[in-house]
Amino acid sequence: MSSDKLGARASNAAVSVRNVSKHYVMFDRPEDRFKQMVVPRLERLIGRPPRRYFRDFAALSGVSFEIGRGETVGIIGRNGSGKSTLLQIICGTLQPTSGAVEVNGRIAALLELGAGFNPEFTGRENVFLNAAILGVPRKEMEWRFDDIARFADIGPFIDQPVKTYSSGMYVRLAFATAINVDPDILVVDEALAVGDEAFQRKCFARIEDIKDKGGTILFVSHGAQTIVQLCTRAILIDNGEKIFEGRPKTVTGHYQRLVNASVETAPGIRAGILALSSAPTKVQVADSVFDGGFEDTQGAIRQPPSACEPSAISASEDDGLADYHDPSLVSRSAVRLEERGASIRDIRLVTVYGDAVNVLRLGKRYVLEYYVDFHLDATNVSFGFAVRTVSGLTVAGAMSADVASLKTAATRGSCVKVCFEFNCLLLPGTYFVGGAVYGTSEQSSDLMHRMVDALVIRVAPENDLLAKGFFDLSPQLSLQNVQD
């Protein structure tokens, strides 16, 4: 490769890791450490070859990769594979034994949450202390502080000593401080499973916002689905070596093969992955699977949704397990995107009898309602909704754009009530629901308005539930005793 091409590539790199290795000296016994300090020196003086009283442990061996500006790259690997060591070297908290790392831009690291907190200081004082560690000027933090306090959402405890905090309050404040400094590069090491479900969703939403603004993210996780959801490229690390790089789904597939392998078969699987990695194939970067929730539903609607009137339900379907409305289920990650000739309002879920609910029962039928006010004339108008997990993965939804008979027109000043009736096949858990309207107007040729995470819903637990995952596939198990 020519020097000109190398220079162009380097200018686009936010992080460049070149042949990085990290070795540690391991002693079996405490006295061996003292012997290593003294005995080899004496042996050299008398002309004998020096003995070694330690073992060399390679936490990282010759790791190289680059992360371009605006990329989101995931690192995955088994426990003890060197992922956290690599992130510490990139962040500058650990020096490599050999190799070099170049970082271009302000870096914010979520490695050990609250590592710079003083338990005797108040939350407010620790925010400024931690910001100073991150290299953020005090004047800048003064106008950022309200956003940090709002994100942490710990109320008056912000002015109490950190030693009085619960563990949840502690990590909420630490996460809020680290993630609200508008970093050019965000490094995250298994730090997203903090707080309750609503706070986790806020964390993911903030990371998505950094992505949308062109920030660079380096993300380490054992969660394959999170890597697939967030990342455009992934790297598999094992025993301190980079053994595969490519599409997130492909990389996490290899990781799952490796992590679920027995001790006997793991070396063979690892060798096979290395062989694939060294094959002369072009590394392809997959598009991010996180798409906001509405575009990836082609073919999801096979039949037109019913009108807003309740559908019939027989008394035999009522098993006595009531759905209901929990006022404490309020979305704190709701986002209203820019209005382009239309606006969505009053989104809610109701039963087929019209009662508002947000705690649902598996197998029952519900209606998602919202109103759309049109501020401009529009044609090819269609509607949609999406159901997302706490981590932001779209797991269900609908979009009428793919059904020609459901496209309509709207006039300036008109209002349309949208109703999607559906069966709840989601398994017990917490989900977020949003709505969207599409159309062609003088301001838009596609999306007119979208509300993301407008509602929080919970599917209630069920007894003796065989199904796992996100959906009820109505599995049945049969067993037979087989006689030889």
Domain locations in the chain as residue ranges: 320-459
Of 264, 460, 463, 468, whose CA–CA distance to 364 is shortest?
460
Distance of CA 481 to the CA centre of its chain: 45
The three-point CA angle 176-178-183 to 5° equals: 120
Q: Yes or no: say if 452 and 292 are a contact pair by the CB < 8 Å rule.
A: yes
- Helix, strand, or coil (residue 194): coil
Contact 15, 103 (CB under 8 A): yes
Given its phi and psi angles, is residue 16 left (phi above 0), alpha (psi -120 to 50 degrees) or beta?
Answer: beta
pTM above 0.75? no
DSSP assignment letter at 289: S
Q: Residue 309: what pLDDT?
A: 44
* Cα dihedral: 354, 360, 363, 367 (round 10): 30
pLDDT of residue 91: 84
Q: Which residues of the chain have pLDDT under 70?
A: 1-11, 111-116, 134, 190-196, 225, 260-262, 279-321, 484
pLDDT in the model for residue 344? 96
Residue 290: predicted pLDDT: 28
Separation of alpha carbons 79 and 84, rounded Å: 10
Torsion of the alpha carbons at 246, 248, 249 and 250, rounded to the nearest 10: 20
Residue entry with tokens 């009137």: 309
- Please provide the size of the chain in residues: 484
Of 131, 126, 197, 210, the closest CA to residue 161 belongs to: 126
* H-helix segments, 188-263: 197-212, 224-230, 248-259
Q: What was the pLDDT predicted at 200? A: 75
What residue spans of 76-216 are helical by DSSP H? 83-91, 123-133, 138-152, 167-179, 197-212
Helices (H) and strands (E) counted in the chain, each on its own, are 10, 19
Helix (H, G, I), strand (E, B) or coil at 87: helix
320-459 classified as CATH 2.70.50.60: yes
Specify the pLDDT at position 193: 57
pLDDT of residue 445: 78
Question: How confident is the model at residue 341, as a pLDDT?
Answer: 92
CA gap 112, 50 in Å, rounded: 40
